[in-house]
Amino acid sequence: MPTPIHERKLANAIRVLAFDAVQKANSGHPGAPMGMADIAEVVWRKFLKHNPVDPNWANRDRFVLSNGHGSMLLYALLHLTGYELSLDDLKNFRQLHSKTPGHPEYGYTAGVETTTGPLGQGLANAVGFAIAEKTLAQQFNRAGHEIINHHTYVFLGDGCLMEGISHEVCSLAGTLGLGKLIAYYDDNGISIDGEVEGWFSDDTQKRFEAYGWQVQKIDGHDTDAITQATINALNETSKPSLIMCKTVIGAGSPNKQGKEESHGSPLGADEIKLTRETLAWVDDAFVINQEIYDAWDNKAKGQALQGNWQADFDNYKKQHPMLADELLRRLNGDLPADFDKVAYDFIKDCQSKGESVASRKASQNTINALQPLMPELLGGSADLAGSNLTWFHNAKALEHDPAGNYIHYGVREFGMTAIANGIALHGGFIPYVATFLMFMEYARNAVRMSALMKQRVIHVYTHDSIGLGEDGPTHQPVEQLTALRSTPNLHTWRPCDTVESAVAWVEALKTKTTPSALIFSRQNLACQSRDDDQIANIAKGGYILAKEKGELKAIIIATGSEVEIAMNAFNSLDGQGIRVVSMPCAEVFINQDNDYRESVLPSNIRARVAIEASHTDFWYKFVGLDGKVIGMTTFGESAPAKQLFNHFGITAEAVIQAVTSLIKG
C-alpha cells in the first residue's frame, strides 16, 4: 500500500486553489481559506458525512461557511471531494453566471447549503439547521431507526462574532441544548482594518461558556488537536460546541501571512511564487495531481454512507409506512393532499360568519384551522406571542417538548428570522416567525435573505400602522411596507378582514420558492361582503370589491384597515361611477396577465385614489402622477387610533373629496 500523502499537503491543495482563483479573478479573499485549510482538511476528510453524488441526501451533515467572504475555501473543498464543480468553474471565480460567485450562493453550486456573506447570518442559519435536525429526529425517529441523525458544522470568523446576531442565536442555541451544532472559530485576530484587538477584546471563551456551550481552545494548524477537539464535540450531546482555533490568516504566504494584506486582496504574482516555494508546491496554477484528488475524493465513501442509510430507511418504511410517507412529503416540501379542500372550506366559512375582528386574530384563527393538517408548521415569535397571536391550540414549545412545534425566540428579531431561514433550508418544516411590523427593521437583512434564497418562510407582522395607537411613533410603522414591497421575490400581504387573512395564509403556504410577509392589524376590521368569484380573485392580489353603478369614472384602491374607509366613501357616494379595488398583495397582482389587470384597473380611467395608512410614494405606480394618495408622509403620534386617523386625514371624507376633485378634473 502506498504511503498516504501527508495531511498538510492535502490542506495545501486548498491553499493553492484559493490563491490561484483569487489571483485570476483579481478579486477575493485568500486569507481565510489559507488560514482555515488545516481545519477544513480534518473536518471534511475525517468527520463530515456527505455524498458528492447526491448533495441533497436527507441525512447528510450540514456545513456552513459563515465567514462567506472566504468562499474559495468551500469551492476548493467541493471540487476536491467530487462535487460537480470543475477546475474551469474555479477559474471562473467571481465571474458572471459562474458556479463560483464571490460569496457562496444557495442554488448556484451543488453542496452550498446556504447563502453567506452578511456576517453572522450563516451562524444563525446553522442554528436553524440544528434546531430542524433535533426536532425532526424527535418527531420521526423510532427504536432502532435513527433516520434523522446528522450534525451541523459551521466555520466562522471574528466578524461573525462581532455582529450582534451572533449573540442572539448563540444564546438561544445554548438554551435549547443543540448538541449537534459544532462551530469552528477562525481566531486569526485580523479583519480588513487590521489587528482586531483594538476593537474586539471580548473573552470569547467565557462568553460562550456563559451561553451554555462547550468551549475548547486549540492550535488551528495542529491536525491532531483539531481531530481530538472534534471528537470531544461529537461526544458532547447536550451542549453546542465552539472550537476556538488559533490560526494565521494567509498561512503559507511568506510576506503577507498574519497581516490584513492577505484578507481581502489577491496575493500578487510575486508573492504567489514565493508561497508556492514555501509550501513546496511544484505544480502550476490550477494543477492538482491525481494522487491528491484520490486522497480527497469522497464519492465512494459518501455513496456507502447513503446506501446504509437508505437500507435503514427501507426497513423503517416497512415498519412505519405512514411515518415514512409523511417524512418524505415534508422533506419534499409538498402540502397535504387535502390541503386545498380544507383551506378553501375554511375561507368560505370565514365569509359566511362575517366576523369583525382584528386581522391578527383572523391570522390566529387561520393557523388554528390549518395547523392540525400541517404538522410541518414550526411557529415562533420574538417575545410577542400574546400580541402577535401566533400561539395556536396544539402549540408545544421546544423548550418543554423537543418534538414540539413552537419556538419562543425571545427578543431576538434578527436572530429569529435568520434561524427560520436555516430551518427552511434544512427541510421538513415550514417556519413562520412574528413580531411587530416596526421591528421588522431589526430583521430586515434576514428577510432579504429569505427572498434571495427563495425560501418559504412566512414573516408575520402585526400592529401594522398608526392604528396601533398610543404606543406612538417609535412603534407605528410608516415606511416599512414600502421596504418590504420593494424587495424582489417577496410577497407582502396586507389583508382587510378575516377572509383576506385566510387567503393570505393559504397563498403563503402554497408558494414554495417565495417568502411572504403577512401584515396584520391590532384593531378590529369589518368583514366585507363578497361572492364566490370575488373570493377566488383575492388570490390574484387585487380584485374588484365594490363595483360601480353606471359608467365607471373613478377607482379607489385600498389595503388592510383602509378598505373599510374606502367602502365608507363608496357608500356615501352611493357607488355612482365609483369602483373599490382591494389590493392585499400588489406584487401578486402585478404578476397577473394584462387582461386581468386591465379588468380591475382599466388604463383609460385616470381618476384614481389610493388610501393606505403607510408611506404614500409606493402607490403612485398605480394611481399615476395625476392621481391622489391618502396616507402618511411623516412619522406618527401617540394617541388613540381614531384620533390619529382623523389627525392625519386618513378618512372617508378625505377620500370623497379626492375622488370628487378628480372626477371634476
Name residues of the chain where pLDDT drops below 70.
Answer: 1-4
| Cell representation of residue 101 | 460567485
Task: Determine the Cα–Cα distance for residues 119 and 420; give it in Å rounded to an integer.
Answer: 16
Determine contact, residues 497/526, Cβ cutoff 8 Å. yes
Task: Determine the Cα–Cα distance for residues 396 and 417; give it in Å rounded to an integer.
Answer: 20
pLDDT at 7: 85
| Cell representation of residue 143 | 427504536
Residue with cell 372617508: 652
Q: Which CATH class is domain 539-664?
A: alpha beta
Determine contact, residues 456/515, Cβ cutoff 8 Å. yes
| Cell representation of residue 129 | 439547521
> CATH: 3.40.50.970, 3.30.230.10, 3.40.50.300, 3.40.640.10. Which one for 338-519?
3.40.50.970
Q: Which long-range contacts (CB under 8 A, 24 or more apart) does 598-602 make?
A: 599/544, 600/542, 600/543, 600/544, 601/542, 601/555, 601/557, 602/552
pLDDT at 656: 98
pLDDT at 4: 58
Identity of the amino acid at 462? T
pLDDT at 1: 36
Q: Where are the alpha helices (DSSP H) in 26-120?
A: 31-42, 71-81, 87-91
Task: Determine the Cα–Cα distance for residues 388 and 156; give it in Å rounded to an integer.
Answer: 33
Task: Determine the Cα–Cα distance for residues 127 and 151; give it in Å rounded to an integer.
Answer: 11
Say yes or no: do domains 5-302 and 338-519 share a fold. Answer: yes
> CATH: 3.60.15.10, 3.40.1190.20, 3.40.50.970, 3.30.1180.20. Which one for 5-302?
3.40.50.970
Q: Is the model's pTM score more than 0.85?
A: yes
Residue with cell 438554551: 175
Question: What is each CA distance from 429 to 370, 412, 457, in whole angstroms?
Answer: 14, 20, 10
Determine contact, residues 499/357, Cβ cutoff 8 Å. no
3 state DSSP class of 607: coil
Q: What are the start-end ranges of the E strands in 583-645?
A: 608-615, 628-632
- Per the annotation, binding residues for thiamine diphosphate are 69, 117-119, 159, 188, 263, 439
Closest CA to 331 of 57, 55, 124: 57
pLDDT at 3: 47
Identity of the amino acid at 84? E
- Per the annotation, binding residues are 29, 69, 117-119, 158-159, 188, 190, 263, 360, 387, 439, 463, 471, 475, 522
Q: What are the start-end ranges of the E strands in 392-540?
A: 406-408, 430-436, 458-462, 491-493, 516-519, 524-525
Closest CA to 418 of 154, 76, 69: 154
Residues with active-site annotation: 413
Domain definitions of the chain by residue range: 5-302, 338-519, 539-664
